Amino acid sequence: MEESVITYNVFHHVAWGTSISVYFWLVGVSTGSFIISSLGWVFGIERYKSIALTASITAVVILLLVPSLLIWDLGQPLRFLYLLLPSYWHATGPMSWGSTFIFFYSIAIIVYSYFVIVNNPFWAKMIGIISVVLAILLELYTGVVMQLNPGRFLNNTALTPFLFLTGAFISGIGVLILVLWIQNMLVAIKVEWTLIEEMAKYMMFGLVFDLFLLFLDFMQTLYGDHGQVIGHEVVLMGVFRFPYLWLEIIIGLLIPFFILVSPLKKFKAGILLAALLVAVGVYGMRVWWVMGGQYLQTFY
Amino acid sequence: MQDKHEAHRSYGLQTAGSRGIAGTKRYAMVIDLRKCIGCRSCMVACKAEFGIPLGVWRTWVKEGDKGSYPNTRRIFMPRLCNHCDYPVCVRNCPTQATFKHKDGFVLQRYNRCIGCRTCMVACPYNARHLIPAKRTDKNLPTMVVDKCTFCIHRVKKGLVPSCVQACVGGARIFGDMNDPNSEVSKLASKETLTVLKPELGTSPSVSYIGGDWELMDEPHSYTNRSTQLKDEFNDFKRNHKGDAFGDIVEGEPTMPQVIANMNGFLHTIPHKAKGVFDSFVNFFFK
Ligand code: SF4
Ligand code: SF4
């Protein structure tokens, strides 16, 4: 093999940074938390009605942080309005769909929360159905916006939207469990611990599914095309090893999984720790997926 | 020649690819790497033509060394926007700020661009950049995305792009690929042309004669960087602040850099907020 070395190239940036990774995480937590909120009023599981309001308010509060991140991330912040103007809207751009979903999802979950507060089952269910659909679409879009970049070896896989959706579900439950625990300590209205244990069980199923998807992705990168193989070696196992291997897989998935299948799940502290680790771990995924996915190309 | 599958390929809402379609133009550039001497006149000409700020480029010349002593050779590869027939940047832009001209130019509308950098993420060729906030000529746009225009302002007057004009080796050749008498189509019929990342289906309009795999392959560009290039790039990332870019320095802990990156982003907010405030003042009071 002939030796060769690249001696000069101009420098390129990773175009999307931490603000976008935090945004993806927040949107995930909001939609995940909202889906739990809908279990009672939309899907008719009565015992979840007691936490519906806390869950939807958590979804709203977390979503409120999103516009500030997104708008200030733009080169021209005031022009965020263009994203909502019909004459600018671009049907083939995933972000056009995403901004539409965010806009309507925010309104829908606020209206839903109102009907939950005034105890109006009909409208809570109707608006709830719309909100659940929007929540799922919104979370899928965050994956699609990363997926539809054919030049990004690590992102350009059909698994991306599902990984984002599963991550959203488990991180949403994780944050919600922590919020409910704080609510139990501070407010007179208490949530039964058995309900939280049940949510932790859902979270565990999500963890297993996420691990399965990650395994498929691992196989793809390990035995994929040249870019994926090098991406696996230098991005996943190299520069982004901490967010990928440690934060996401070990801290965010494996440790909580072992907590939730061991006797530790009988202790409050065990479940709370698992919830915290899952929420933090999913952020690790957002970091390597957004910033790691673009890393290799900056040298091209 | 037109590929029979490509004739029917539509591209979302965008202008269909024009390569090989009768009655249309398909402007293209062929870069004959046998003639490139790596003088970078094209880079200078491009910078001068558009007053491009420091740190960003519309065209550049990548360079490498190959072979083992004493049989070695220095290799070059000019790079620019490929004006793809099926441009991912155009497809993904949420505001239609970037669009495809019927003659094949992929162009940018600064007044529509919101600076979201979706197109930079989408472009497989690093052909786009965000114009920095500070620019010598205050009348030129800032903080929107920019790219090569194939010098449409010159081409429409019958001139060739500035980089082609400046190329001392005559390595850059420009013309209409759909015109059988143009120099580019004659070259296309007699030489072997290669394009960057053909597997992505972007159908680039910039092709190379005598392209070296070492410079054309993306993973190879990473694995075979010289130590100096690696150090310089790491310095560049380390010293870069703000604009919310997600650069991570190799060999240093990742998460502190992610946090520092967030910090950089937060520091840009007051400047951007001032810009928003100024826009309001200009709009309502001037
Ligand atoms: S090279 Fe990049 S910027 Fe140029 S047309 Fe193709 S995808 Fe767009
Ligand atoms: S930065 Fe401008 S051109 Fe690029 S995708 Fe965003 S709006 Fe479109």
CATH of the domain at A194: 1.20.1630.10
Searching chain A, which residue's CA lies closest to the CA of residue B130? A75
Q: What is the pLDDT of residue B1?
A: 44
A266 within some domain: yes
In the predicted model, what is the mean pLDDT of residues A17-37?
95
Distance from CA of A258 to the nearest CA of B (A): 25
Work out the number of other CB atoms within 10 angstroms of the CB of residue A252: 28
Q: Go through chain A and tell me how many residues it has.
A: 300
A10 within some domain: no
Q: What is the pLDDT of residue B154?
A: 96
Domain residues for the domain of A183 are 15-299
Low-confidence ranges of chain B (pLDDT < 50): 1-10
Burial of A28 (0-12, 13-18, 19+ CB in 10 A): buried
Question: Quick check: B92 contacting A, CB < 8 Å?
Answer: yes
Q: What is the pLDDT of residue B278?
A: 87
A7 within some domain: no
Q: The pTM is what?
A: 0.93
Per-residue model confidence as pLDDT tens digits over B32-67: 999 999 999 999 999 999 999 998 999 999 999 999
Q: What is the pLDDT of residue A5?
A: 93
Mutate which of B106, B130, B206 to test ligand 1's pocket (most atoms within 8 Å of Cβ)? B106
A6 within some domain: no
Per-residue model confidence as pLDDT tens digits over A79-102: 999 999 999 999 999 999 999 999
CB distance A102 to A138 below 8 Å: yes
Ligand 2 neighbourhood includes B96 CB (under 6 angstroms): no
A5 within some domain: no
CB within 8 Å: B67 and A290: no
Per-residue model confidence as pLDDT tens digits over A143-159: 999 999 999 999 999 99
- pLDDT of A225 > 60? The answer is yes
Please tell me the total count of domains within chain A.
1
Which residue's C-alpha comes closest to atom 2 of ligand 1?
B123
Q: What is the pLDDT of residue B89?
A: 95
Q: What is the pLDDT of residue A292?
A: 93
Q: What is the pLDDT of residue B141?
A: 93
Q: What is the pLDDT of residue B5?
A: 45
- pLDDT of A281 > 90? The answer is yes
Please report the domains of chain B, with CATH numbers, ordered by start residue: 4-223 (3.30.70.20), 227-285 (no CATH)
Per-residue model confidence as pLDDT tens digits over B134-144: 888 888 999 99
Q: What is the pLDDT of residue B13?
A: 58
In the predicted model, what is the mean pLDDT of residues A217-221?
94
Q: In this predicted complex, what is the ipTM?
A: 0.92
Distance from CA of B221 to the nearest CA of A (A): 6
In the predicted model, what is the mean pLDDT of residues A182-198?
89
